[in-house]
Amino acid sequence: MAIQTINPFTNSVVESYEEMPPEAVKAIISIADEAFQHWRKTAFSERAALLHKVAKLMRAQSDQLARLITLEMGKLLAQSKGEITLSADIIDYYADHGETFLKDQPLNPTFGEAYIKSTPIGVLLGVEPWNFPFYQVARFAAPNIMAGNVVLVKHASNVPQCALAIERLFREAGAPIGVYTNLFLSGSRVDEVVADVRIKGVALTGSEAAGASIAAAAGKALKKSVLELGGSDAFIVLADADIEQAVHWAVIGRMNNTGQCCVAAKRIIVVEEIAEEFLNKFKAKLTGLKVGDPMEPQTELGPLSSQGAADQLIDQVKRSVDAGAKVLLGGNLIDRDGAFIEATIISDIKPGMAAYQEELFGPVAAFYRVKDEQAAIELANDSPFGLGGSIFTQDIEKGKRLAEQIDTGMVFINHPTWTQADLPFGGTKRSGYGRELSSLGIQEFVNKKLIRVSKLTDPF
């Protein structure tokens, strides 16, 4: 697989990089393993100081780094800047709180003394996606480096300049060689890295197929894995919702990052009595989005990450329409250079259709009308995915009761599924397992070691 920057606004190749040969990868793993032997013994204060420097550099270089994101995968520039800010916030969050999260946990045994000590486990591999090339890495690297582990990152092959930029930030901040290392590898070679005895765990954010492959490789090698895979989040609007606010958030929830977000509001589920009003207002908002260069501040709908991604999404729409779904808005590639798709709404979607079962990764909203709130919950749960979801209602207690019935890792009330440093992120079903962010994210790759103290006079 080519490791290239291809600008999706023009579909032109900007930069190409060579894949690392096997001997170079083995040498990198050796360096990382040696670095771990030192890094595991450093004080939390030293680890925190490094992370704070990385975050400071990231903010200082925000404009330059944001332009790299937009160049490589087409994100609107303002959203790219927001991603850099979020990433720096996550890094600072773990620098500030990591020691507290990992402090010794005293136990209360029937006799003697006991406590749990959290210790790092070694060299970790992160396999990261292109859609949030800094944020996804920050939420993997920051907690694990703070915990005393060291990380290797195999980034998506279409964001190589972002990958190099993150590694450079760690080096500029003074990270010892081997604490954070970028790997230029094709996906087909990840299993060989996972199999290396010096790799102690692996985290992946990506597709179901990639997750299944990583999980199999990690399981075969008896290594811990954390997977954040696809999603098809339900965006439920109840009869008592503030429709203007619900429409506002539906547009953001579906179109953020041009719809290329695991927790995007992909399935818009609205109760029948307000469905027509909601749909008309939602359609009007999407119709008015300005298409253009993602580097330009006035652009509201940019390109997808690649022409291949755009073609795949159009194919999903076409297969759904051929099976009986209806296009209410858009549904086509835009006739211009670049990987552009019209903002799209499809309806009359039934089980078995592509749009019903598959993740729609782009600016395509699947719209459903349901008779009542219970039907909305049943439809929300009728999905192979279980990442996030949201409920819009002015009755907060009812919203909480319904949220407890949704089979996902996250449910937001009166807001689309979102992310921030102090909230756990992860799913269930085919959306993966394990958690990132918050206090939970730093616990995934540490050894919870029991230390027990007994006296000779204690009973057995």
Find the mean pLDDT for residues 331-360: 97
456: confidence class by pLDDT, cuts 50, 70, 90 = confident
User: What digits encode the pLDDT tens for the residues 387-434?
Assistant: 999 999 999 999 999 999 999 999 999 999 999 999 999 999 999 999
What are the φ and ψ backbone dihedral angles of 275, each rounded to 5 degrees?
-60, -45
Q: What is the CATH class of 3-229+431-451?
A: alpha beta
Q: Say how far apart CA 250 and CA 267 lie, in whole Å.
A: 10
- Count of beta carbons in the 10 Å neighbourhood of residue 349: 20
pLDDT at 458 over 80: no
Q: How many residues does the chain have?
A: 460
Task: Please confirm, yes or no, whether 436 is among the known catalytic residues.
Answer: no
Pairing mode, if any, of strands 150-154 and 123-127?
parallel
User: Domain segments of the chain: what residues?
Assistant: 3-229+431-451, 233-413
459: confidence class by pLDDT, cuts 50, 70, 90 = confident
| Tokens, residue 348 | 């009359």
pLDDT at 76 over 70: yes
- Count of beta carbons in the 10 Å neighbourhood of residue 415: 13
105: confidence class by pLDDT, cuts 50, 70, 90 = very high
Selected catalytic residue, list 128, 167, 228, 436: 228
335: Cβ–Cβ under 8 A, 6 or more apart, which residues?
Answer: none
Q: For residue 258, give the DSSP letter.
A: G
pLDDT of residue 8: 98
Task: Please confirm, yes or no, whether 228 is among the known catalytic residues.
Answer: yes
User: What digits encode the pLDDT tens for the residues 248-294?
Assistant: 999 999 999 999 999 999 999 999 999 999 999 999 999 999 999 99
Helices 62-73 and 160-172: crossing angle, nearest 10°? 160
Mean pLDDT (the chain) is 97
**Do residues 301 and 289 touch, judged by C-beta distance below 8 A?**
yes
| Tokens, residue 124 | 């970790």
Selected catalytic residue, list 72, 261, 262, 342: 262
CATH number of the domain at 233-413, out of 3.30.530.20, 3.40.309.10, 3.40.50.970, 3.90.550.10?
3.40.309.10
Helices 44-60 and 77-101: crossing angle, nearest 10°? 170
pLDDT at 1 over 70: no
Give the residue ranges of DSSP H helices in 105-242: 135-146, 160-172, 190-195, 208-220
One-letter amino acid at 371 equals K
Task: Summarize the chain as % helix, strand, coil (round to 5).
Answer: 40, 20, 35
Find the mean pLDDT for residues 364-368: 98
